[in-house]
Structure 1
């Protein structure tokens, strides 16, 4: 792995992204309704060409985008990331028809994507999925949606019917299509899962928004015999777990980049505050305990950044140790961001707890990444599994 130092063009691009996020995306984010998809914000990401880069750039550039946007506008960062998470399986595993129908709309910001993996009883244990894809023996695909709209029907006869629930799904229930993972072979664990591209207007598909700590659009989905065809499959039947894990291996390091962006924003705010705040006959920065705390915040943020960059580079170079590196990057960066933001709140005092303060916002935002796309405990399990597998392979 190379030592990581951004070249001048990368540094300039990151600065440009931070400025765009502050000047053009932040105003749109402020106008959004908490808990709902902010379509004007998504459309602006499309106009700026950032959504298209989800499909033309590697993991390293994705991390630079997420880190830079998160520094100035976490809502814009999240909107971009969710588009990528929901649409990447289509980009990587979709048929030509699937890609041509959906990816241009995702890139321009006119279609909202969602990644539907988690369930009420299968969050961290993704192999325990219970959403059933049951064979439709009749193959008639005659289920009717509300109002009987023919536009909601699949293009061909239904081969399966999806029945069950998904929960904690970002962009649900307002997305235009979902990458859905369902069990096609009972009692087969990870081997019996298939990935489907399911348009939101399919009959039998309904959803409800959830009121969460962070103001992101998150909801649950209910599948009542939702028809899907062979043309809706992403990849191969019973091989959907590979689709899910491949997507997560790409996006886990970039979750770490999101966390690093938040940590850097908290650190920058703390540097300004401690340099200006009068306390005990001097400035806060003059107190050794404060100075050492700020140094520790900076140290951990930079360490997390380097690990994120290393994991992203490993992904781009198709290195064999991507799962372990991705897990390490996600784990270290999200835990670090929690520490840095919490420390920043402590050094700012009560003012940081007021609604509308940057750190109050970051404090609410920083908690979720330690859970989604695999909780910290899951990442430790992945790391240990990869370590032992590497040891045994070398024996």
Structure 2
């Protein structure tokens, strides 16, 4: 990459990904049920080696991957990203046993991962989470390896409470769960655990949401976890969560840019061909100026996303600010572009199954998840005043 221009090989790879998404992954997505995990789609992502790249790519390559898939098949992009989000804490903070058990299955698309941070009363304010991990010093590790251990490790914990708006819930095979263990106040008392879905006391239900990907609620009724289930150290879970979010925030922006570019290209094609008022729509100054604004904002968002990803790959100290800026601008831009694309298409874009009808439902959620736009502005302001 030269400055903010992609190299010839990167451009070729992105083109191949867009074609792959449209030709190979889109048909599998269309066969899936909205709001449900699409396991055949995940298996295809694994077979194609794309899930592997989530864990081996740098931040910029991950952005190019997500942007290109989003252009051709948003469901494939989201399925891939959720695997990364749920399993990245295992890669970064898991034990050798946890990595050996779960990561090969995630990479192959056979195991579904989920990132369980948000709660009914702790969405944007992640440090305020209330899921409680109560010490259970008398418990013993059983055949499944949870519930505590002897040999000086002490007992385990019991998780009680609720998680909400969890992507891939309740169908995931394991959850990265963040709970309050109380080593300190607020973020200092949060611990990360790897919780398989078959643990006793863990249940869930799907939520009927605007966006088509699976989202659900989880209930923890004394779910047993032991030292073997820790991701990192007790009381250090908030850092695990923030490291994961900082890794993926620029690529959330890339997802948004991919949708914006798809909407922009569809609008260019439509307004260049649609006849009205003695010519085509694109001849009207009001239309041309609107499309020019859409294109300019999309390009600005793309460049900011790439810059944030480059900063992450370079180990820059200003990654939190850059990542927040990239996610903020890209998701707000995508909302603007898709909305105006619908307006320029007129009623045809409101038909169920139209690309823009689909994008209109998809584009709203990224302004909220992984830190709402208001949270990104708060992060940016704090970093500027630091």
Same fold by TM-score greater than 0.5: yes
- Which SS does the other structure have where 1:227 is aligned? strand
- Equivalent-residue separation in structure 1 for 2:278 and 2:101 (angstroms): 65
Q: Check conservation: 1:141, 1:227, Cα contact below 8 A.
A: no
Q: CA deviation at 1:187?
A: 6.2
Residue number in structure 1 paired with 2:157: 160
Q: CA 1:156 to 1:191, structure 2 compared with 1: closer, same or farther past 3 Å? A: closer
1:316 paired with 2:308, answer no
- Which SS does the other structure have where 2:50 is aligned? coil
Q: CA 1:2 to 1:9, structure 2 compared with 1: closer, same or farther past 3 Å? A: closer
Residue number in structure 2 paired with 1:74: 74
- Equivalent-residue separation in structure 2 for 1:92 and 1:18 (angstroms): 29
Q: CA 1:103 to 1:242, structure 2 compared with 1: closer, same or farther past 3 Å? A: same
Which one of the candidate residues 211, 214, 220 is aligned to 1:214? Answer: 211
Which one of the candidate residues 336, 353, 359 is aligned to 2:350? Answer: 353
Residue number in structure 1 paired with 2:132: 132
Q: CA deviation at 1:232?
A: 0.7
Residue number in structure 1 paired with 2:172: 175
Q: Check conservation: 1:164, 1:223, Cα contact below 8 A.
A: yes
1:300 paired with 2:297, answer yes
Residue number in structure 2 paired with 1:342: 339
- Aligned residue pair count: 381
Residue number in structure 2 paired with 1:224: 221
Residue number in structure 2 paired with 1:43: 43
Q: CA deviation at 1:2?
A: 6.6
- Equivalent-residue separation in structure 1 for 2:291 and 2:251 (angstroms): 25
Let me know the Cα RMSD of the aligned residues. Answer: 1.3
Residue number in structure 1 paired with 2:119: 119
Q: Which segments of 5 or more consecutive residues in structure 2 lack a partner in the other structure?
A: 150-154
1:200 paired with 2:197, answer yes
Q: Check conservation: 2:34, 2:213, Cα contact below 8 A.
A: yes
- Equivalent-residue separation in structure 1 for 2:371 and 2:146 (angstroms): 32
- Which SS does the other structure have where 1:51 is aligned? helix
Q: CA deviation at 1:231?
A: 1.1
Cα distance per residue 1:117-149 (max 9 Å; x no partner): 00000000000010001000212357xxxxxxx
- Equivalent-residue separation in structure 2 for 1:9 and 1:139 (angstroms): 56
- Equivalent-residue separation in structure 1 for 2:56 and 2:69 (angstroms): 18
Q: CA deviation at 1:154?
A: 2.6
Cα distance per residue 1:98-117 (max 9 Å; x no partner): 11111000000000000000
Which one of the candidate residues 242, 245, 250 is aligned to 1:245? Answer: 242
Residue number in structure 2 paired with 1:392: none
Q: Check conservation: 1:209, 1:219, Cα contact below 8 A.
A: yes
TM value normalised by structure 2? 0.97
Residue number in structure 2 paired with 1:147: none
Greater displacement, 52-61 / 157-166: 157-166
TM value normalised by structure 1? 0.95
Aligned counterparts, 1:216-295, within 5 A: 216-295=213-292
Q: CA deviation at 1:3?
A: 2.1
Q: Check conservation: 1:169, 1:220, Cα contact below 8 A.
A: yes
Residue number in structure 1 paired with 2:12: 12
Q: CA deviation at 1:215?
A: 1.2
Cα distance per residue 1:148-175 (max 9 Å; x no partner): xx65x63854511111000000000000
